[in-house]
Structure 1
Amino acid sequence: MTAGQRLVLVETGAHQGGGHREHALGALAGACRSPLVVAPYGVTAGAARAVDSSGARVVRPTGGLPGVLLAASRAAEVVSQVGQRVFASRRWPTVLRRSPHQVTLVARCLAEAACVRTAHRVGDGAPVVVLSASEALHAAAGLLGGPHVRFVHQINTTEGGPVHTLGRLARQGRERVVVLAPTAAVRAELADRFPGLCVRERPFGVADRAERLTEDERAQARARYGLDTGETAVCLVGGWWPHKDLDVVDRALAQLEAPLHVLVVGHPLDVPMLKRWAAMPKVRLHAVPGAASPERVRAVYAAADAALVARRPGVAMESGLVVDAVRLGVPLLLSDHDPGLTQRVGSADWLRMFPAGDSGRLTALLTDLVWSPLPRPEPHAAAELGVPTAASQVAWLSRLASKGTS
């Protein structure tokens, strides 16, 4: 790959393993010229390998105002954690139970500002992109940190009164930021909540053909899990968060009439549910609890005949698992939780969809998979879904940052 564009990549959560974020950081760094990564708490071992192979330099905010901002962020996070423990009981008023999360929004803003200021100080004029930005205080991050582009993946916590007031006081910083949303639904919500802010839609995930699983990898991975020729396996990748519908998977597996290997990797997991699956007569469970390396996650995908993505109706944030499927070349069983995603994937032959929450239909798809394996996505499938390559993403972000935050 010829890296011709320069960016400074900010990832405040680079010390937390797994997910969409870890892969994107390494891929984008590899597509940059003279890559620079600002990570306030360091990077995971998995991300470090990818970042190191790109030749990127990793720096942390220290000294001067960045150091003060980061220290203030850490102090605010401690206050938030203490508050979450103190006000955990439902006996407390709602406003008190929500207040620690408001403090977390402030902590994240301060950390981002520290990183952006550091990026401008050491980046020699290169555009700055925050890869996993907070859903609030965008203008404040711009005012304190400087011009930047920021990806907001979802909105978990809305601004309460005091935080909203802080945002209004810092509104002159709006001109310093461009906010990117990975889906139309997230963009619409951000635009509604933050009028006057420049919000655009852009996929976050990236996919390159060189990442595609090989037949040798697949054979080695299947042997690792003891899968014989003719046996079928599906994988569930990533932590079991509230937006994922594991209940429908639970019900579907209980109705199986043909043997199926189920490969599970991620954190956190529902251990009682896993024990129930292990006891089901038709399920052959292979669980890898806890944080897993990118190599281990890749092996799980390689061993599987299909990846299973089940989400609750209305969840409209970008699915890193769908991006994983198309970039690695893994067939997919997908719920129709997001109309926008359903429309994009269309009638691809490597994918089967089921109504969100419909365990009977999911059981039928799992049974069909046992008897009739799905074809793998073609190398051009990612482009057809609008997933950019790392190089095209870097070039697009560089142009946008140079025009939009000057």
Structure 2
Amino acid sequence: MTPRPAELEDLLRHLGPQVLGVLVRRGDDFAAAEDAVQEAMVEAFRRWPEGLPDEPRAWLVTVASRKYLDIVRSEVARRRREERFHDEPEPGATEQADDTLLLLFLSCHPALSPASAVALTLRAVGGLTTRQVAEAYLVPEATMAQRISRAKRTISGERLTQPGDLRTVLHVLYLIFNEGYGGEVDLAAEAIRLTRQLAAGSDEPEVQGLLALMLLHHARRASRRTPAGELVPLAEQDRSLWDTALIAEGVDLLQLALARDRLGEYQAQAAIAALHADARSAEETDWTQVLEWYDELTRLTDSPVVALNRAVAVGEADGPLAGLRALAAVDPGVPRHAAVAAYLHERAGDLVEARDLYAVAARAATSAAERDHLTRQAARLHAAGT
């Protein structure tokens, strides 16, 4: 079989993390093993267009093992390491075990900063190139290469002997998901793909909760921006554009997770997203239930962002003045605090204060799309004569 270039790239992106997992599970140093796998993939790019081997993954494991030995022999501790790795590993049962999930835990090691864990996860587990990761995060390739190298050095010597911190893994996957889309890589879709793998190998309800949350948010993606790229608030989104298949899958996953009776913050967030997805219009949103779930979420986490969003729910369920009272207890330094205050003041009829707060929020916005949206809100109230 002679694969087309795109097919070959997809195949190697799929196999690369599995091969790396095999080498690291055997005890190979992560940094050197990752370099060896990259070299093996380069050789595959050169050879496989002439025809795929009978067992592509076993071929990659064999070649990567040879590359790894070459790397080890070039280091100062040559003799000690050559004694350990003298015989080339023969393809066998180990190559058939998918170690991708354990590799994911290692890439999300608690010793790494969130930014480093995200970069290493996308490179080692997602199979993305350094260039693709750099483009997705809008940084120079050299900067991303340094970040990945530092991450590999940090976890050098760690072994895949047991699963790591699931909470850290879920946090990293959610960070990737929230980056959305950048460059040629759809990070939201990539996060969903990795979380599906994790869910397939885990019986933890929070994993299902996170996957449900991602699917429910992703289902609304087509409605979040106008053709010109302007932000569209949830209340104004065209709900006919929502992906009902993703919503149904997300709700099913959420129900399975909640049935385990081990509530976690991702399940609570997914429940809130499901209530929004269930409403046929913004006016039909069951804000009382939304607020109840925010109360549950508040008991699970002391996040100021949760407190901010809860204030919005209070304003919708009990009126804008109640929402402003709830907002008064939230740190004003929390991102989007001024935007929420502007919205609640507008709902309460204080349009002058709302206009000024929209302007303040626009100056503090972290993205051009959000800044432009808030600027338009301020201009709208200004034009209305406030």
TM-score of the superposition, structure 1-length normalised? 0.24
Higher relative contact order (CA 8 A, sep 6+): 1
TM-score of the superposition, structure 2-length normalised? 0.25
The structure with the greater share of residues assigned to strand is 1
The structure with the greater share of residues assigned to helix is 2
The structure number with the bigger radius of gyration is: 2
